[in-house]
Every structure is written in structure tokens, then in C-alpha cells.
Structure 1
């Protein structure tokens, strides 16, 4: 939160080398400056708890498609816009990028003097593009949503990382689908870059492992386990779009906290026999 930005666009689970390829494909070098940063977390829960633990952030609105934000911080923001509540796609088991852009656009109009954090779900699985649909049906983000809705925390299918580990899916196909998810969300994020006033940064909360060794340990890991700070899990993009027009940021008098506190979630899990 101490970094210099007016708008922070978070692309969930985007490792740096994947983004570097897209950055070249979209020819963004002439518009923006790309750096590699080290994330404080190797998954969303760790990222959220490590970055938003002191607060309050009454000069900031957090717009999120990812319910993990609600689950892993009690921080107070000026507002917390839970796009996942109203725009969850039951067929995809995630929130696609478009509703997030719409929510961010509306928030920018009603709160022009606030910093914006816009947290997209992609390129995190499920892979929703054409190539992703070629992979056997895999889990989405239904597990976390069900926790917050008071339902049994379970997935409908194996994750794509479990399929990769057991050989059901190939590394090449998963990488292609992963990149495709990035292209889908980057199209939306760049729309916001063109519309929002101020200094905008595109980044990610963490990366992914596709069977790389978890150095210095001789084991292969998949996905994004927490507290494993290897290169491809914590090396994330930091793409800076400068602007001659900066926002005049002011803090509100009061804000809101997450829809569901960590204590409430723990109580729900315990009642369901999971703790």
C-alpha cells in the first residue's frame, strides 16, 4: 500500500514470465514500464494477509472478484465491492473479467477521489478460453465461495494442477490455456488503463508452479501452495502506466470491512466438521 499508484489492477495468479510474453505480444513497451517484483505471498490468502494487515485504508476502494479477499483480511477499506456476490458464473465457477471492469468503471465515477484496487480472478484457473475448454472439466473457485456462503467447502472436480500432476493434462496444454486466460483478462485490464485517471499499475498477487522443483528441495510442486517462496511463485509483474493527470486522493471518515470475518468463517467450518 506504500507504493505510488492511483489504480492497482491485480491479475490473480500471474507469474512474471507468462506476463512478460503477453507484454511483448500486446506491444506495451511503448506505453508502460515493466518490472519484476517479489510478492509477499505465494497464494492469495498469504498475499492478502501480508499486505493488508494494519489499515484502515479509508482512501481506497477494493473491488474484488476473488472471495479470498473477504476470507483473509479484517482490514477496513473505504468500500469493498464484492463482484463475486452478484456476478458469479455458475457454469464457469468463477467471475469472468467483464463484470469486474464494469464494477471498477462504476466505482471510479462515484468515488473519483479514492485509490482503486481492482482484483480480477484470471489468469487463475478455471481456464475459460477455448484451449481451456479442451482440458478435462476442472475445478473453479467454488470452494472459497461456498465457505463464505455457509456451504460445505468442497470442489466439484479435480483442479487443473491435480490433473497436471497425475498426467491427465499436459504441461504444454495447461501453459497454453493459462496464457489464454491472461490474454482474456489483460484485454479488460487495458480497457481500464485507458479510462481511469491517474497512475495505474498492473500486477499479480502470486504465480504458479507447473511441476518445477521447489528449490532447494528435490520435489516438484504444482499450483500455488502457501509459504513456498520460489521464483515462479513470488516473482510477479509490475507494469507501470504513467499519467500527467493524477488523482487528488482523500480519505473518508468511515469505511467497511470484509463481508465475512475470519472468525465467522472459522465458526462455519467448525460447524461443518472441517476444523
Structure 2
């Protein structure tokens, strides 16, 4: 699996470069991945060969626990990011795919679809977040764990097939609440403090109980399955050394790509086509 992680890291590195400097070579079509996260909305754009050409993101508070709570705000942000990328690329972005936490399709799938379409995209795919992430990770055996702002999504794979998906309401929001309580600061101040990598070593001691809670969720949801490895993605997985605590708590080898925040939006983009869904 090491070679896949290295390929994944290279793909993410190329995408990160395009956020600062979009690639302006001609392409007959562009594919966009729209990731409506609890803490951050990310748009990733790929060319006709499914290679990164542009990207943009914005921290936002329009989704909570995997559910859209500010529909108008979500549409406005996606529309603004879309316009920003279109101006940089000098072309219209037509097709997009999106994702949602596992098991929330009936509750919120329609809302996510409407946000993407109301922002001006033609929606071509809608899939669960861990499965989307695996479009880039290419895990054949193991568990893809997407630790987002509000929830932890788990996708278990056997012989390259998804055999189980699950979602639990524990994620980055809970880490920030613990920080706010421990440091006697506001939730927003805790979020800002958490996002700074310089504070991660210090925070790890405070946050260890919550990370162990996430580990117990992984153990519970993977019980009865042969899990050779865990693969972490999602914005909360950016916390330095979180993979070490999860590996120790679960007893399962745990891998984390270089920037796990961008794995899911890039996987969403890789699942995008020019074929509209109903």
C-alpha cells in the first residue's frame, strides 16, 4: 500500500500547487468535486485527463454534523468559489460531483444536490465521503476513515468492494469543544488554535480522550471484519500524530496521506463525469 500512499501524496501536492497557480492548458472538459464539509467547503477541478488544474476552499459554518443548516449560505459560497475558479481558468465549469456522510442520503442527499445545482453546476454523481476518498486512495482491503468536522465516516473494503459504510457523530467539532473548555476560550478561538500546526504537539495531550473515542468507534464499526489497515482522511485527520494514537488504540496499522483534507474533494472530482444524474 505504500506505493499507493506515495501516488496519493503526489496527486495532492500537485493539487495544492494549482490552488496557488492554476494550470491554464487547454482541456475539452473540466470535472469539479464539491466537498461541503462541516468546517470547510472545497472545490477541486480536474482536466479531461483527470489531472488537477485548479482548486479553492473556504472555512464556513453552513454544515453541522454532516447536515446543511444554512442552505442559502452554502449556495452562495459554492457559487462564489465556482466563479473565482472560472475567472482563473477562463472557462465555465459545468459538471460537478458531490458527497455526503454515509447513511444520510435520505435525510440530506436532496439538499446537497440542490446546493450544487443552485450554484450553477450540472450534478453528475453523489456518493458517500469515504467511498469518494477511496477513488484516490485505491484501497482494496481495509477501512477508509473520514474524520470530518461533525462526523466520522467509515467505509470497509474487501476485494476492492465496499462491504459496509457507517457514520458516527464525533469529529473536529468535538475536539474544538474540548479545547474551548480546557483553555476557557470561545469555540471560534478554539477552531483557530486547532488549525495552527504549531499548537498540535501541545493539544495532543488534551485531545487524546476524544481521539480515543474516535478509535473506539472505528473498532466497534469494524468488528467482525478483517481490517489489515486503516486509512485516515478528512480535515480533522490533519491533526499531527492523530494516526499514532488511533493505531495504538485500535491495534491496527494506520496510514495518513500528507494532507488528508484534500483527499475526499479530489476523490469526488475523480468520480465526476459528463453524465447527469436524475
When the two structures are superposed, what TM-score results if normalisation uses the length of structure 2? Answer: 0.30
When the two structures are superposed, what TM-score results if normalisation uses the length of structure 1? Answer: 0.30
Larger helix share, 1 or 2: 2
